[in-house]
Structure 1
Amino acid sequence: MPEGGRLTRASTASRAGAQTGRKATMIGLAMPSILLMALINAYPLGFALVQSVHNGGLLRLGKFIGFKNYLNVLTDPAFWSAASFTLLFTICGVFGSWFVGFGLAILLKPQFPGRNLFKVLLLLPWIVPIVVTSMSWNWLVATPGSLLPQLAETLGFGQILFLADPTMAMITVCLFKIWVSYPFMMMMGAAALESIDNSVYEAATLDGANARQQIRYIVLPMTARSTYISWILMTMFSVNDFATIYLLTGGGPVNATTSLIVLAYRSVFQDFLPGYGVAISFMMTIVLVALSLLLFRQVRKAKF
């Protein structure tokens, strides 16, 4: 074999060995944290799984009933009503907050006086504790004497019961979710926009692309990975968002704004049916994992 061929093979083998060593080192460094997290979560997860196949209460495990809790969940109209609202709430939370947040990130990308101040002010809905924000919204819409119902009546729209009417309550809760979530999407979008080199915009401008075309053919494709990741995270946040709904409406009126997480909470801590509530939570987890895997596939397919 020629000397050059042997050297090439030796160099390739050396690089492969170095990569294997790096992978082993990274796995070794990460393994203690992985094991610690597994140990911390193993017992609660295992005990919850055991509870979901028993019919006990908060203080006793009860009788083993197999998958009866899961069957009861799937045949309960309250579950499907909560699932429908959870779907609506999640869609509004993900895409509504992304549309507002990403739009603001694009508007705040150019340099102008006071830009940093605007960014800080726009982050306030996310910075302020959710208890304070929910109290503010209650002050605005909760009673006929609140500011927005009074304003609507003054403008001739009649008396609008934002939290007493089921449809208006759902709309209000979804808008509240967008309000408290758009700053997260704005920060994710701003970070993604910073990764696009200005020369790309300059080249597009020279080719005659207007602002709308640049957003469609440059900004959206080149920020696709970040967008999909933000959608995954916001989907998890929305499905598991208990405070936003419970503090504003408590799941009412007439269960119109009861999501799956609120229904699970009521089942465990108000109806004292932990097996039923945990079964709801496990079914939510299965759906979230499946949806996350689907979106992660889109992340891998993204070109940039």
Structure 2
Amino acid sequence: MRVTTNTAVAERRVRSAPAPATGDRKGKRGRPTQWAALGFLTPLAAYLAIFYAYPLVRNIDLSVHDYNARAFVLGNAKFVGFDNYAAIFSSPAFGPAVRNTVVFTFGSIAAQYLIGLVLAVFFRNNFRLSGVLRALFLVPWLLPLIVSGSTWSWMLNSDNGIVNSVLRAFGIGEINWLTSPDWALTSVLVANIWLGIPFNLVILYSGLQNIPGDLYEAAALDGANAWQQFRRVTVPMLRPVSAITLLLGLVYTLKVVDVIWIMTTGGPGNVSTTLAVWSYREAFGTGQPDFSPAAAIGNLLIVIALVFGFLYLHLQRRQERS
């Protein structure tokens, strides 16, 4: 009887006890988590706003106003809408600049990728002094661009450059690498390829290290030779890394100014002038800065980079779905 009574009293106490405030506890626990997430996001949001959003908005503002040096200081630039864009599209320099940009950009990234891939495959099999050689290949990447451009400018100098000295030693006539309309773009292209090879080597070599060796062993057991292993195993497995390497190379090469400016200043004439060099020349290279057309050309480069970026994302999502 006592057991039954005690049990009934305990049941009534349990029933009459207030339900735990689960919602309040979850809310109290969730708020610190939300504040912590906001705390981690705030530095990133501030960085993007200061170094990306504001410069982009400012560049758009420059391109739709008539900013010269005086208006830039006084802040009374006249609103002209899309007149600056119409001016650059109708300029005689636009066609050569686009053509040079296409040749310089795609020539650079194609050569850099192919040479970097060959070197990455070469260094994949560790051998004596491989680490030292890889470190030496990184030297162009570590040098300041002004040093690299000046070095190439000296090497290709028509009078006392080392390249023409070697050509003369073999009985070949000297070439005006930096002042000839036939060779100026080729000269800056070769210099830029040399600068970009280490980046491609590092990224592609890292990608090769993530390919399981079992795949190569299975391919060898199936009778695949070295070329077939490269074509059937290396290339497909390296495709994601190759895509991001080419995209980064494209974005970087589109905005190359320093090397070309140091070596040829975009000349002779407009032979080696790309869109990036044209933008820099309009803003700083004439002695009479005209910031609005320079900003319009810069926005055109941004649009081109965005198009290829969205194309990369589209292809990546399509590959993930398949």
Shorter-normalised TM range: 0.7 to 0.9
1:37 corresponds, among 47, 51, 65, to 47
Contact kept in structure 2, 1:224 and 1:299, CA below 8 Å: no
Match runs of 1:202-221 below 5 Å: 202-221=217-236
Residue identity in the other structure for 1:275: S
Q: Distance in 1 between matches of 2:57 and 2:266?
A: 29
Could you tell me whether the CA contact under 8 Å between 2:247 and 2:312 is conserved in 1?
Answer: yes
Mapped pair 1:266 → 2:266: no
The offset of 1:33, in angstroms, is 3.4
1:102: how far off?
1.1
Deviations 1:254-293 (A, max 9, x none): 1211111111111112342111110111111111100111
- Find the structure with the greater CA-based Rg: 2
Q: Paired residue for 2:309?
A: 292
Partner of 2:60: 49
Q: Tell me which amino acid in the other structure corresponds to 1:44.
A: P
Check whether the contact 1:224–1:302 (CA below 8 A) recurs between aligned residues. Answer: no
CA RMSD of aligned residues (A): 2.3
> Residue 8 of structure 1 corresponds to which residue in structure 2?
none
Instruction: Give the superposition deviation at 1:28.
Output: 4.5
1:77 is aligned to 92
Contact 2:65 2:78 in 1 (8 A): yes
Is 1:228–1:298's contact at 8 Å kept on the other side of the alignment?
Answer: no
* Cα 1:30–1:47 shift into 2, 3 Å: same
- Secondary structure of 1:33's counterpart equals helix
Cα distance in 2 for partners of 1:95, 1:175 equals 12
Contact 1:94–1:231 under 8 Å retained in 2: yes
CA displacement, residues 174-211 of structure 1 (integer Å, 9 cap, x when unaligned): 11111000000000101100110111100000111111
* Aligned sequence identity (%): 28
Q: CA deviation at 1:247?
A: 1.6
TM-score using structure 2 length: 0.82
Instruction: Give the superposition deviation at 1:62.
Output: 2.1
Q: Within 5 A, what are the aligned runs for 1:225-236?
A: 225-236=240-251
Question: What secondary structure is seen at the aligned counterpart in 1 of 2:111?
Answer: helix
**Structure 2 residue 107 is the aligned partner of structure 1 residue 92:** yes
Per the alignment, residue 281 of structure 1 pairs with 298
For structure 2, list consecutive stretches of 5 or more residues without a partner in the other structure: 1-33
Q: Match for residue 19 of structure 1?
A: none
Q: What one-letter code is carried by the residue in structure 1 that aligns with 2:295?
A: V
Aligned to 2:15: none
| TM-score, with structure 1 as normaliser | 0.87
Distance in 2 separating the partners of 1:166 and 1:25: 61
Contact between 1:163 and 1:169, CA under 8 Å: does it hold in 2?
yes
Kept in 2, the 8 Å contact 1:141–1:163? The answer is yes
Residue in structure 1 matched with residue 10 of structure 2 by the alignment: none
Please give the residue correspondences for 1:244-263 in structure 2 after superposition, counting only pairs within 5 Å. 244-263=259-278
SS of 1:166's equivalent?
Answer: coil
Distance 1:122-1:302 versus aligned 2 partners, 3 A rule: farther
Deviation at residue 147 of structure 1 after TM alignment: 1.6
Using the TM superposition, give the Cα deviation of residue 29 of structure 1 relative to its aligned residue in structure 2, in angstroms: 6.3
Cα distance in structure 2, aligned partners of 1:195 and 1:27: 32
Work out whether residues 153 and 160 of structure 1, in 8 Å CA contact, stay in contact via their aligned partners in 2: no
CA distance in 2, matches of 1:75, 1:220: 43
Aligned to 2:207: 192
The answer (yes or no) to whether the contact 1:196–1:222 under 8 Å persists in 2 is yes
Correspondence 1:130 to 2:145: yes
Quote the Cα distance in structure 2 between the aligned partners of 1:124 and 1:221: 30
CA drift of 1:80 comes to: 2.0
Is the 8 Å Cα contact of residues 55 and 62 (structure 1) preserved in structure 2? yes
8 Å Cα contact 1:144-1:160 kept in structure 2: no
One-letter code of the match for 1:246?
W
Residue aligning to 2:4? none
CA deviation digits over 1:32-69, x for unaligned, max 9? 13420243143332222122111121341421111100
- List alignment gaps of at least 5 residues for structure 1: 1-23
Distance 1:213 1:295 in 2: 27
Deviations 1:65-121 (A, max 9, x none): 111000111111212211111111111221110011111000001021111001001
Between the aligned partners of 2:135 and 2:39, the Cα distance in structure 1 is 37
- AA in 2 matched with 1:35: A
Shift of 1:26: 10
1:285 maps to a residue whose letter is: I
Q: CA deviation at 1:155?
A: 2.4
